[in-house]
């Protein structure tokens, strides 16, 4: 495969060559067809004052003298000169910025153009969009939040960010796939270097002085190993020689006085099968916690390939192999299972164990990765960003049942015309030249509330429309990039259905909708008696109704401004509604209720033929005793039936609020709204609730403003609010 035909990989993972992780196995194979720049770990946990950390630190300092080295024809390893800083402080951010600069220069030097960014560590989230990556693959091999010494909050934050932004998530276990569930998540179990481990070879001479029976664990000796259980095993079976192979990152004082426990230290990977083949039992004595519950130990597959009896902690990922592996839950069961394993002389056991992993070699896993990435890149749509909807936008809406009137291409320009500080952006996704998704965003700048993007401000739902999850994700990814370029603190996507379970969301709002009958008298009879009586009361009080279009805007706006002032919210400018009446002349209808010549209630509806939407309604509370609001809503409903509409949309309300219950009394049913947020790493969704503590005082002050002041100041504020 030529360099031009294959994608390049930029890999964030553990230190190359330190131990044979699954990521290292994969890229040994992938480097045969792809150029790979491997970035050694940039640290998940802060430095600790121990010998293990000191040795690693000294090795890092040595590697920084020659940070870039070539280990194969297509394979380079980079040691980023970074200080061991974690968190969100200025020093940590500067650390990342300098490292990203080094990375960009290295990519240019190696002629890597738009590489696929592959990461198995969550802190690679710090580098997203700094490296012009073509796609992002998140290889989930562990829950690093449970790593000893890790900054759990930051790891969780980075993990959520990667999960939300990754184009493909490959998880090694069912449990990790479930905790990272998105439409883009796939299961990719560990592979195994089968031929390597199945060929044991001669017994190492170092074992000559260690008598049988022998039981061994190999790997990192760290906090996730149950050393107390190992000690109890050694005490209960003094003739059993327990061999521990691997580097230790913790003190092993608990085992120091055990004559039948042998601490071998690390041995070369090439020699490992000979050591394991000389054992009678292989041990996987993990503690059981939030990390190991989700884990799929790579060494378990390697033990199966060796073909020696295995005694392992009962972890969810191992349950399916209970017919060939002995599992235990408690220390006393570990002792029982080791004794049983030593007495198990089934001749067919090694072949049964090896058959479980014989077809799972790393070359096959690498082929699966190649196919997944190639399919991802081939299936990924091209997303463009324009200041106005491009041709084909309206036609696309006609074939989308989930499209609403607020996806109409006239809205972005209308909003920008009404409020020039608001900038429209129209994102369109195309695959093979065909439009397969769209998203309109309005960028709002605000010193008071923070700059942000919304789809669209003030409306219930005008978010992502896409033919498939891949297209939806591509649009979200481009929206993220746009927000970063504009300095937006968040992007709010207003949806009528969940977009991505990994994205932060608000679900406290619902739209109330009523299915309309064919005739107004049928609707009237379906209403509760109390509602009908209140409509009649308004009529008995002499209230009158006018229905029309733009000629009623001034009276509508008069009631609307006062109502918004009373609610503590800024109103739109009359100019905004005039533009709607001008550009949606066929869709708009207004209804105004009068007491004598004074407008006391008013509503503005927009119809797409099937659904009548009510985005704005107002009622002067000084006339509540006359029930003008009830007459207003009945008139709008009657008018919608007369126009042949199938559904009346009352608009959104906070669930169980007063307006929510008001709309429910008309027979409206709740349709949940899902407002998703695209956020920078570490950020939280904005607090925009008017009843929250931080907004209580401004709302109270606004309610006391003269109506004229609210009319003048309101449009200047609402241009910054969504």
Strand blocks (E) in 477-596? 490-495, 505-506, 509-515, 544-548, 588-595
What are the helix and strand counts (H, E) for the chain? 23, 29
Q: Are residues 327 and 418 in the same domain?
A: no
- Burial class, 247, CB count within 10 angstroms (exposed 0-12 / middle 13-18 / buried 19+): middle
Query: What average pLDDT does the chain have?
Result: 89
What are the residues whose beta carbons fall under 8 Å from the beta carbon of 546, sequence distance 6 or more? Answer: 552, 591, 592, 594
Query: Taking residues 104-133, what's their average pLDDT?
Result: 85
SS3 518: coil
The rounded percent of the chain whose pLDDT value lies above 90 is 62
247 inside domain: yes
Q: Are residues 260 and 315 in the same domain?
A: yes
Query: Taking residues 123-149, what's their average pLDDT?
Result: 82
Residue 83 — pLDDT band, cuts 50, 70, 90? low
The rounded percent of the chain whose pLDDT value lies above 70 is 93
Q: Are residues 108 and 238 in the same domain?
A: no
181 inside domain: yes
Structure-token match 């000893």, residue found: 148
* pLDDT score, position 157: 85
Which CATH number covers residue 257?
Answer: 3.40.50.2000
656 inside domain: no
Boundary of a domain, candidates 456, 474, 506: 506
Q: Are residues 71 and 158 in the same domain?
A: yes
Least confident of 26-30, 147-151, 243-247, 344-348: 147-151
CA-wise closest residue to 650 among 481, 514, 516: 514
* pLDDT score, position 141: 92
Query: Taking residues 39-64, what's their average pLDDT?
Result: 58
Least confident of 104-108, 140-144, 148-152, 515-519: 148-152
Task: Judge whether residue 703 has pLDDT over 50.
Answer: yes
Boundary of a domain, candidates 149, 172, 187: 187
Q: Are residues 390 and 535 in the same domain?
A: no
Structural domain of 480: 381-506
Q: Are residues 20 and 100 in the same domain?
A: yes
First to last CA, the chain: 50
pTM for this entry: 0.80
pLDDT, one tens digit per residue, over 598-612 is 999 999 999 998 999
Residue 405 — pLDDT band, cuts 50, 70, 90? very high
Pairing state between β 75-78 and 68-72: antiparallel
Task: Judge whether residue 250 has pLDDT over 90.
Answer: no
Q: Are residues 492 and 535 in the same domain?
A: no
Which CATH number covers residue 558?
Answer: 3.40.630.30
Q: Are residues 30 and 147 in the same domain?
A: yes
Q: Are residues 583 and 496 in the same domain?
A: no
Query: Taking residues 636-644, what's their average pLDDT?
Result: 95
Residues 196, 353: Cα–Cα separation, whole Å: 15
Q: Say if CB 240 and CB 248 are below 8 A apart.
A: no
114 inside domain: yes
Of these ranges, 341-350, 441-450, 568-577, the one predicted with the greatest mean pLDDT is 568-577
pLDDT, one tens digit per residue, over 281-316 is 999 999 988 888 988 999 999 999 999 999 999 999
Q: Are residues 178 and 198 in the same domain?
A: no
692 inside domain: no
Q: Are residues 116 and 199 in the same domain?
A: no
Which DSSP string do the residues of 313-350 spell out, in sequence order? Answer: E--GGGGGGTTTSEEESSHHHHHHHHHHHHT---TTHH
Q: Are residues 20 and 160 in the same domain?
A: yes
702 inside domain: no
Boundary of a domain, candidates 454, 484, 506: 506
291 inside domain: yes
Structure tokens of 344?
A: 């198990």
608 inside domain: yes
Domain count across the chain: 4
């Amino acid at each position: 495969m030529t360099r031009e035909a294959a994608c390049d990989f930029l890999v964030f993972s553990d230190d190359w060559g330190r131990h044979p992780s699954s990521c290292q196995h994969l890229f040994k194979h992938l480097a045969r067809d792809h150029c790979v720049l491997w970035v050694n770990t940039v640290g998940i946990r802060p430095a600790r004052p121990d010998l293990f950390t000191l040795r690693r630190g000294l090795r890092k300092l040595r590697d920084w003298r020659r940070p870039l080295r070539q280990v194969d024809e297509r394979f380079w390893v980079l040691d980023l000169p970074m200080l061991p800083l974690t968190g969100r402080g200025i020093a940590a951010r500067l650390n990342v910025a300098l490292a990203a600069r080094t990375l960009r220069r290295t990519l240019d030097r190696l002629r890597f153009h738009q590489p696929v960014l592959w990461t198995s560590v969550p802190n690679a989230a710090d580098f997203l969009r700094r490296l012009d990556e073509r796609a992002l693959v998140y290889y989930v091999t562990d829950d690093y939040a449970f790593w000893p010494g890790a900054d759990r909050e930051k790891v969780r934050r980075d993990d959520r960010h990667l999960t939300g932004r990754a184009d493909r998530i490959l998880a090694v276990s069912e449990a990790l796939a479930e905790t990272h569930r998105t439409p883009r998540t796939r299961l990719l179990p560990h592979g195994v270097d089968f031929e390597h481990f199945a060929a044991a070879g001669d017994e190492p001479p170092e074992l000559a002085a260690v008598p049988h029976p022998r039981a061994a664990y190999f790997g990192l000796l760290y906090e996730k190993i149950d050393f107390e259980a190992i000690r109890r095993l050694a005490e209960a079976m003094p003739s059993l020689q327990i061999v521990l192979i691997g580097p230790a990152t913790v003190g092993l004082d608990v085992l120091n006085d055990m004559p039948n426990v042998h601490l071998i230290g690390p041995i070369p990977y090439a020699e490992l099968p000979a050591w394991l083949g000389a054992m009678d039992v292989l041990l996987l004595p993990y503690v059981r916690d939030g990390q190991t519950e989700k884990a799929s130990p790579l060494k378990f597959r390697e033990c199966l390939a060796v073909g020696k009896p295995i005694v392992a902690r009962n972890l969810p990922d191992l349950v399916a192999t209970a017919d060939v592996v002995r599992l235990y839950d408690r220390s006393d069961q570990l002792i029982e299972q080791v004794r049983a394993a030593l007495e198990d002389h089934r001749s067919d056991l090694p072949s049964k164990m090896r058959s479980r992993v014989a077809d799972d070699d790393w070359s096959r896993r690498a082929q699966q990765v190649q196919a997944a990435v190639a399919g991802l890149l081939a299936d990924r749509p091209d997303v463009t960003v324009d200041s106005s909807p491009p041709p084909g936008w309206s036609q696309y809406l006609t074939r989308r049942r989930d499209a609403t009137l607020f996806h109409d291409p006239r809205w972005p320009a209308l909003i920008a015309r009404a409020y020039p500080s608001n900038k429209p952006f129209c994102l369109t996704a195309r695959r093979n030249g065909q439009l397969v998704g769209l998203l309109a965003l309005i960028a709002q700048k605000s010193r008071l509330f923070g700059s942000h993007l919304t789809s669209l401000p003030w409306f219930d739902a005008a978010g992502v429309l896409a033919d498939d999850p891949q297209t939806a994700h591509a649009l979200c990814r481009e929206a993220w990039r746009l927000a970063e370029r504009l300095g937006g603190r968040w992007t709010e996507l207003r949806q009528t259905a969940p977009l991505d379970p990994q994205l932060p969301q608000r679900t406290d709002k619902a739209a109330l909708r009523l299915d309309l009958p064919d005739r107004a008298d049928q609707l009237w009879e379906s209403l509760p008696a109390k509602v009908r009586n209140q409509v009649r009361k308004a009529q008995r009080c002499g209230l009158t109704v006018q229905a029309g279009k733009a000629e009623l805007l001034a009276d509508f706006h008069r009631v609307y401004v006062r109502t918004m002032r009373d609610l503590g919210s800024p109103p739109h400018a009359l100019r905004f509604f005039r533009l709607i009446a001008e550009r949606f002349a066929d869709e708009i209808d207004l209804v105004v209720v009068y007491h004598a010549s004074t407008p006391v209630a008013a509503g503005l509806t927009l119809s797409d033929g099937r659904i009548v939407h009510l985005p704005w309604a107002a009622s002067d509370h000084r006339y509540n005793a006359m029930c003008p609001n009830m007459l207003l809503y009945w008139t709008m409903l009657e008018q919608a039936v007369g126009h042949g509409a199938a559904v009346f949309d009352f608009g959104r309300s906070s669930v169980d609020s007063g307006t929510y219950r008001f709309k429910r009394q008309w027979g409206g049913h709740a349709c949940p709204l899902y407002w998703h947020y695209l956020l920078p790493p570490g950020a939280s969704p904005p607090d925009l609730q008017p009843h929250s503590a931080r907004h209580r005082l401004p709302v109270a002050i606004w309610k006391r403003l003269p109506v004229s002041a609210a009319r003048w100041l309101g449009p200047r504020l609402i241009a910054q609010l969504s």
